[in-house]
C-alpha cells in the first residue's frame, strides 16, 4: 500500500481539530480567528504530551500561501476609486493613528530594553487594526449603515494599504540595517516606481484580457486564471526582493477594476479560507503557553496601552480631519483589535530572524485580548458619546462645531481646484512611465543592441533614442499638461512642467546612457522631434490617457454605494416605504407628513418604478413601495425607519444611492445668488438638487428655510443626481 505523505496527515489533523474548535467558538459567539489560534496551540509542539504534526516546513509553505491569498482578497476589496471616495478624513485619521501607535509601540519596547528590531516590529504589529474582526463586530451589533461606520471602513482601507507598504519597508530596513540612510531613500523611491509600474501595466493590460474572455470564460477557467495572476505577481515581487504579500495585494487591486471582480472574489474565497486557516493555525502553533504565562504582565500592559493609544489617536485624527465629536469618538473605540496583518508582520520577523522568540507570543496574547474586548468597546462608545453630548458646555460645543465647519469649508474650496489636481496627477503618472521606459530599455533593449554591434557609443545612443521614442508621448503629456490649467494661470504651470520634464530626461539619459554628448543632443533632437511630430504625439498620448481613464472609471459608480456624504454628522441612506399603519407617512404628502419637524430628516429623492423624482416638493405624495433617498443622522434615520418600514419585510437589494452626490458651494462676492432667498435664487433648479444645509460664520443650519436670504461667503450643501449635479 502506498505510504501517505506526512503533509496530508498533518492537514487532516489541523483542519479537523480547527473545525471542532471553530464550531465551538461560533456557538459562544467569539471570532473564528481566535478559534484557529487555539487549535494551533492544541496541535503545536509546545502543548504536552507531543506535537500532533510533523512536517513543519511544508506547513510553513502552505501558511505563506495563506498570506498570499489573504492579501489577494484584501486587494479585491481595494480600489483607487474607494480611496478617492473615502477622502481626506480617512487618510488623515489612518496616518495619525498608525504613526502614533508605531511610535508608542517602539517606545514601549525601548523602555523594556528590547533591541531595535524587536521595538520596530512591535510598533508595526500593534499599529494595524483587524479588518475582519471590526467588520464582523459591527455586523453582529447591527451597526452597518451608521454614520461612523463609513469612516471606520475608510480608515481600514487606508490601513491595509499602509500595512502593505510597511511590510516592504520593514524588509528594506532589515537588509540595509538602517532606518534613515541613502540606501533606504533609494529603496523607497524604487518601491514607488515598481508599484507604480505594476499598477499602470496591470490597468492597461489586464482589462483587455478580461474584456476579450468575459463572454465565454467558465468558472473553472476564471478561478485558475485569477489564481495564476495572483501567484505570478507574487513571484515577480519575490524576484525583485519584495514581499509576496505586496505582489498579491497589487494583483487583487488590479482585478478589482475589472467587471469580473465579484465573480473572482466569490470563486477564490474558498482558497482564501482554507489557506488562511492554515496560516492562523500555524501562528497558534508558535505560541508557547508557558511563555505566555511568564509574560502575562507585559501582554496586559501592552494591550492596555494599545487600546488607549488607538482610541485617543484615532479619535484625535478623525476630529482634526473635520469629523464631529460623536463620529470621532465612536470611530476611535472601534479600532482596538489587532489581527491578520499583525500576524503577517510577526511571521516576517520570524522569517528574517531578527526578533526574539517571545515577540510572537506577546503579539498573539495582545491580539486575543483586543479581539475579545472589541464588541464591548463599540457598545461603550455610544454611552460615552451621549454623556459627552449631555455634559459638554455650550461654549465647548460651539468651538468643536466651528472647527469642523472650518475644515469642511477649506475642503470644499480645495475641491473646486480640480484643474490643478489633474495637472499634478498628469506630471506624476507620466514621470513614472518615463522612468520605467528608460529603466526597461537599459535592462532589456541595450543588451540586445550589444549583440548586434561592438561600438559602445553607438549602442548607447541607439538605446537612448529607442527609450526617447517610446517615452515621447508621455514627455508630450508632461510638457503640455499646463493646458489643463485656466488660461490666465498657465504660465507658471508651463514653466514648472517644462523644467521638470527637461530635468527628468537629462538625469535619466545621463544615468542610464551617460556619454558626454548625450546631454547636448537632447535639446536638438527633442525640439526637432516635437516640431515634426507635434500632432502625432498629442494624438498618441490622448489615446493612452483616454484608455487608462476609461479603465479606471469603468466600475466607478458601482464601487461604493455609501459615499461619504456627511455634513454635520448626517449621511444618505435608502429606505423603502412599505409600512401601511395609520401613523405611517405612506399615503401622505411630504407637507402633511411634516418629516422635517417630526424626524429632522430630508427626502432628497423618490424612486417610483423607473422614474426618479429629484428634490421632491411638499405636494409630492409618498406611495407604497417608493424607494426614498433620505438625509439625516443615525438617530433621525432610525426613528423614520420605524415609521415607514415594515420590520418584518425582507427588503430587496437597493441600487440607486450611488446615483446621488453631495456638492458644497461657496458663494463668492460676485455670486448671483447673493441677496436673494434660497427659493427666489433658483439655486435648487440650476443645480438639480436640494439645498440641505447652510453654514454661515461657523453657524450651521440643517434643512434651511427657503426664505433665508443668502449672503457672501455662505457655504451651501446641495444633494442631487450625480450625472446632473455640477462638479
Count of helix runs (H) and strand runs (E) in the chain: 28, 8
Please give the grid coordinates belonging to residue 332: 476611535
Vertex 98 angle, CA 92 and 101, to 5° = 135
In 602-698, the DSSP E strands lie at 602-608, 611-614, 627-632, 660-666, 689-696
Considering the domain architecture, whether residues 365 and 452 belong to the same structural domain is answered as no
Considering the domain architecture, whether residues 335 and 432 belong to the same structural domain is answered as no
Q: Looking at 43-57, 74-88, 144-158, 372-386, which range is the least confident one?
A: 74-88
pLDDT at residue 564 tops 50: no
Which carries the bigger pLDDT value, residue 392 or residue 402?
392
Instruction: Supply the pLDDT for residue 565.
Output: 40
Considering the domain architecture, whether residues 124 and 153 belong to the same structural domain is answered as yes
Instruction: Supply the pLDDT for residue 517.
Output: 55
Is 576 in a helix, a strand, or coil? strand
Of 556, 579, 609, the residue at which a domain comes to its end is 556
What Rg value do the Cα atoms of the chain yield, rounded?
A: 29
Residue 721: which H helix or E strand, with range?
Answer: strand 715-721
Considering the domain architecture, whether residues 443 and 315 belong to the same structural domain is answered as no
pLDDT at residue 413 tops 90: no
Q: Assess if residue 615 is contained within a domain.
A: yes
Q: Assess if residue 28 is contained within a domain.
A: yes
Considering the domain architecture, whether residues 153 and 256 belong to the same structural domain is answered as yes
What CATH number has the domain bearing residue 325?
A: 1.20.1530.20
Instruction: Supply the pLDDT for residue 521.
Output: 59
Of 54, 73, 89, the residue at which a domain comes to its end is 54
CA-to-CA distance for 264 and 113, rounded, in angstroms?
A: 47
CA-to-CA distance for 606 and 91, rounded, in angstroms?
A: 33
Contact 674, 711 (CB under 8 A): yes
- Tens digits of residue pLDDT in 54-84: 777 788 788 888 878 887 887 787 666 555 6
Torsion of CA 350, 352, 356, 359, to 10 degrees: -40
Which carries the bigger pLDDT value, residue 438 or residue 418?
438
pLDDT at residue 409 tops 80: no
Q: Assess if residue 307 is contained within a domain.
A: yes
What is the domain extent for residue 480? 418-556
Please give the grid coordinates belonging to residue 66: 495563506
Instruction: Supply the pLDDT for residue 657.
Output: 58
Considering the domain architecture, whether residues 536 and 607 belong to the same structural domain is answered as no
pLDDT at residue 540 tops 70: no
Q: Assess if residue 395 is contained within a domain.
A: no
Helices 261-285 and 219-239: angle between axes, nearest 10 degrees: 60
* Region for residue 651 given its phi and psi (left: phi exceeds 0; alpha: psi -120 to 50; beta: otherwise): beta
* Mean pLDDT, residues 456-478 taken together: 80
In the chain, helix, strand, coil percent, each to 5?
Answer: 70, 10, 25
Which one-letter DSSP state was computed for residue 441?
Answer: I
If you average pLDDT over each of 101-115, 333-347, 420-434, 481-495, which comes out highest?
A: 101-115
CA-to-CA distance for 572 and 634, rounded, in angstroms?
A: 10
10 Å CB burial of residue 106 (0-12, 13-18, 19+) is: buried
Instruction: Supply the pLDDT for residue 305.
Output: 93
The CA distances from residue 666 to 408, 620, 698, in Å, are: 11, 30, 13
Mean pLDDT of the chain: 77
Residue 387 contacts by C-beta under 8 Å, 6 or more apart in sequence?
none
pLDDT at residue 637 tops 60: yes
Instruction: Supply the pLDDT for residue 561.
Output: 39
DSSP 196-247: HHHHHHHHHHHHHHHHHHTTT--HHHHHHHHHHHHHHHHHHHHHTT--HHHH
* Mean pLDDT, residues 579-596 taken together: 78
Long-range contacts of 12-21 (CB under 8 A, 24+ apart): 13/43, 13/52, 13/53, 14/39, 14/43, 14/53, 14/59, 14/278, 14/281, 15/274, 15/277, 15/278, 17/42, 17/43, 17/52, 18/277, 18/281
Nearest to residue 39, comparing CAs of 19, 11, 56? 19
pLDDT over 90 percentage in the chain: 7
pLDDT at residue 560 tops 80: no
pLDDT over 70 percentage in the chain: 78
Instruction: Supply the pLDDT for residue 418.
Output: 65
Contact 146, 571 (CB under 8 A): no
pLDDT at residue 672 tops 60: yes
Instruction: Supply the pLDDT for residue 557.
Output: 41
If you average pLDDT over each of 36-50, 82-96, 542-556, which comes out highest?
A: 36-50
Q: Is the peptide bond before 49 cis (omega within 30 degrees of 0)?
A: yes
Of 380, 402, 429, the residue at which a domain comes to its end is 380
Please give the grid coordinates belonging to residue 93: 485619521
Q: How far is CA 459 from the centre of its chain?
A: 45
CB neighbourhood size of 545 (10 A): 16
What CATH number has the domain bearing residue 610?
A: 3.30.70.1450
Instruction: Supply the pLDDT for residue 653.
Output: 47
- Confidence at 535, pLDDT banded by 50, 70, 90: low
Residue 572: which H helix or E strand, with range?
Answer: strand 571-576
- Tens digits of residue pLDDT in 274-285: 888 888 888 788
Which carries the bigger pLDDT value, residue 463 or residue 525?
463
- Tens digits of residue pLDDT in 42-55: 887 777 666 677 77
- Nearest 5°: phi and psi at 700? -105, 140
**Three state DSSP letters for 699-719:** EEEECCCCCCECCCCCEEEEE
Instruction: Supply the pLDDT for residue 727.
Output: 40
Q: Assess if residue 393 is contained within a domain.
A: no
Considering the domain architecture, whether residues 529 and 634 belong to the same structural domain is answered as no
CA-to-CA distance for 498 and 116, rounded, in angstroms?
A: 44
Q: Assess if residue 583 is contained within a domain.
A: yes
Contact 708, 693 (CB under 8 A): no
Residue 571: which H helix or E strand, with range?
Answer: strand 571-576
Considering the domain architecture, whether residues 517 and 640 belong to the same structural domain is answered as no
- Count Cα neighbours of 422 within 13 Å in the Cβ-side half-sphere: 14
Nearest to residue 558, comparing CAs of 138, 208, 260? 260
Considering the domain architecture, whether residues 324 and 194 belong to the same structural domain is answered as yes
Dihedral of alpha carbons 303, 304, 305, 308, sign: positive
If you average pLDDT over each of 158-162, 270-274, 561-565, 664-668, which comes out highest?
A: 270-274
Considering the domain architecture, whether residues 40 and 88 belong to the same structural domain is answered as no
If you average pLDDT over each of 10-19, 470-479, 591-600, which comes out highest?
A: 10-19
- Confidence at 576, pLDDT banded by 50, 70, 90: confident
Is 411 in a helix, a strand, or coil? helix
Residue 382 contacts by C-beta under 8 Å, 6 or more apart in sequence?
330
Considering the domain architecture, whether residues 63 and 49 belong to the same structural domain is answered as no
- Tens digits of residue pLDDT in 193-214: 667 666 667 666 777 777 777 7
Q: The cell 506547513 sits on which residue?
A: 59
Q: Looking at 359-373, 454-468, 507-521, which range is the least confident one?
A: 507-521
Q: Looking at 130-134, 237-241, 511-515, 702-706, which range is the least confident one?
A: 511-515
Q: Looking at 30-39, 72-81, 238-247, 545-554, which range is the least confident one?
A: 545-554
- Nearest 5°: phi and psi at 47? -105, 125
Q: The cell 511630430 sits on which residue?
A: 533
Domain count, the chain: 4
Q: Assess if residue 48 is contained within a domain.
A: yes
Considering the domain architecture, whether residues 548 and 602 belong to the same structural domain is answered as no
Q: Assess if residue 79 is contained within a domain.
A: yes
Amino acid at each position: 500500500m502506498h505510504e501517505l505523505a506526512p503533509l496530508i496527515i498533518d492537514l487532516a489533523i489541523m483542519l479537523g481539530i480547527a473545525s471542532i474548535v471553530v464550531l465551538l467558538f461560533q456557538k459562544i459567539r467569539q471570532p473564528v480567528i481566535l478559534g484557529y489560534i487555539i487549535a494551533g496551540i492544541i496541535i503545536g509542539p509546545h502543548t504536552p504530551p507531543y506535537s500532533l504534526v510533523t512536517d513543519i516546513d511544508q506547513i510553513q509553505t502552505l501558511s505563506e500561501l495563506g498570506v498570499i491569498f489573504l492579501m489577494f482578497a484584501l486587494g479585491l476589496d481595494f480600489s483607487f476609486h474607494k480611496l478617492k471616495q473615502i477622502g481626506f478624513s480617512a487618510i488623515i485619521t489612518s496616518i495619525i493613528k498608525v504613526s502614533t501607535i508605531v511610535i508608542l509601540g517602539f517606545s514601549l519596547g525601548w523602555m523594556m530594553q528590547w533591541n531595535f528590531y524587536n521595538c520596530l516590529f512591535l510598533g508595526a504589529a500593534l499599529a494595524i487594526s483587524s479588518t475582519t474582526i471590526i467588520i464582523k463586530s459591527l455586523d453582529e451589533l447591527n451597526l452597518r449603515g451608521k454614520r461612523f461606520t463609513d469612516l471606520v471602513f475608510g480608515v481600514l482601507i487606508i490601513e491595509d494599504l499602509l500595512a502593505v507598504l510597511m511590510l516592504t519597508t520593514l524588509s528594506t530596513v532589515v537588509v540595509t540595517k538602517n532606518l534613515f540612510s541613502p540606501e533606504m531613500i533609494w529603496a523607497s523611491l524604487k518601491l514607488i516606481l515598481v508599484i507604480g509600474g505594476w499598477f499602470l501595466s496591470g490597468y492597461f493590460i489586464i482589462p483587455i484580457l478580461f474584456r476579450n474572455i468575459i463572454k465565454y470564460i467558465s468558472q473553472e477557467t476564471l478561478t485558475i486564471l485569477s489564481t495564476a495572476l495572483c501567484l505570478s505577481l507574487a513571484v515577480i515581487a519575490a524576484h525583485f526582493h519584495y514581499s509576496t504579500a505586496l505582489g498579491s495585494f497589487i494583483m487583487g487591486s488590479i482585478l478589482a477594476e475589472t467587471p469580473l471582480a465579484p465573480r473572482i472574489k466569490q470563486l477564490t474565497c474558498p482558497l482564501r479560507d482554507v489557506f488562511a486557516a492554515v496560516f492562523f493555525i500555524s501562528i497558534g502553533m508558535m505560541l508557547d503557553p508557558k511563555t505566555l504565562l511568564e509574560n502575562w504582565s507585559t501582554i496586559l500592559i501592552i494591550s492596555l496601552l494599545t487600546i488607549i493609544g488607538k482610541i485617543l489617536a484615532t479619535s484625535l485624527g478623525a476630529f482634526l480631519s473635520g469629523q464631529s465629536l460623536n463620529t470621532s469618538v465612536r470611530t476611535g473605540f472601534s479600532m482596538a483589535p489587532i489581527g491578520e496583518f499583525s500576524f503577517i508582520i510577526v511571521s516576517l520577523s520570524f522569517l528574517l530572524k531578527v526578533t526574539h522568540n517571545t515577540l510572537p507570543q506577546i503579539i498573539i496574547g495582545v491580539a486575543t485580548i483586543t479581539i475579545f474586548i472589541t464588541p464591548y468597546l463599540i457598545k461603550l462608545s455610544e454611552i460615552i458619546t451621549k454623556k459627552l453630548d449631555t455634559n459638554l458646555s455650550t461654549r465647548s460645543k460651539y468651538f468643536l462645531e466651528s472647527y469642523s465647519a472650518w475644515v469642511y469649508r477649506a475642503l470644499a474650496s480645495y475641491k473646486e481646484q480640480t484643474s490643478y489636481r489633474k495637472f499634478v496627477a498628469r506630471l506624476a503618472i507620466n514621470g513614472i512611465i518615463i522612468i520605467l521606459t528608460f529603466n526597461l530599455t537599459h535592462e532589456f533593449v541595450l543588451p540586445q543592441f550589444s549583440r548586434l554591434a561592438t561600438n559602445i557609443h553607438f549602442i548607447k545612443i541607439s538605446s537612448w533614442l529607442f527609450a526617447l521614442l517610446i517615452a515621447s508621448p508621455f514627455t508630450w503629456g508632461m510638457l503640455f499638461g499646463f493646458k489643463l490649467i485656466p488660461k490666465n494661470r498657465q504660465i507658471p504651470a508651463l514653466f514648472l512642467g517644462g523644467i521638470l520634464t527637461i530635468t527628468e530626461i537629462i538625469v535619466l539619459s545621463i544615468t542610464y546612457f551617460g556619454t558626454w554628448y548625450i546631454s547636448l543632443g537632447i535639446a536638438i533632437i527633442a525640439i526637432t522631434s516635437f516640431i515634426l511630430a507635434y500632432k502625432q504625439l498629442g494624438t498618441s498620448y490622448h489615446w493612452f490617457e483616454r484608455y487608462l481613464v476609461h479603465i479606471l472609471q469603468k466600475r466607478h459608480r458601482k464601487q461604493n454605494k455609501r459615499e461619504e456624504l456627511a455634513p454635520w454628522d448626517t449621511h444618505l441612506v435608502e429606505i423603502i416605504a412599505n409600512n401601511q399603519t395609520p401613523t405611517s407617512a405612506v399615503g401622505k404628502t411630504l407637507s402633511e407628513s411634516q418629516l422635517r419637524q417630526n424626524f429632522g430628516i430630508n427626502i432628497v429623492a423618490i424612486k417610483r418604478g423607473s422614474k426618479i423624482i429629484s428634490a421632491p416638493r411638499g405636494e409630492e405624495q409618498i406611495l407604497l413601495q417608493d424607494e426614498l433617498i433620505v438625509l439625516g443622522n443615525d438617530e433621525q434615520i432610525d426613528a423614520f425607519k420605524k415609521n415607514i418600514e415594515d420590520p418584518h419585510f425582507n427588503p430587496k437589494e437597493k441600487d440607486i444611492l450611488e446615483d446621488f452626490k453631495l456638492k458644497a458651494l461657496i458663494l463668492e462676492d460676485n455670486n448671483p445668488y447673493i441677496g436673494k432667498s434660497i427659493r427666489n435664487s433658483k439655486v435648487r433648479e440650476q443645480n438639480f438638487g436640494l439645498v440641505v444645509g447652510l453654514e454661515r460664520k461657523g453657524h450651521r443650519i440643517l434643512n434651511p428655510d427657503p426664505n433665508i436670504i443668502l449672503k457672501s461667503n455662505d457655504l451651501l450643501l446641495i444633494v442631487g443626481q450625480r450625472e446632473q449635479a455640477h462638479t
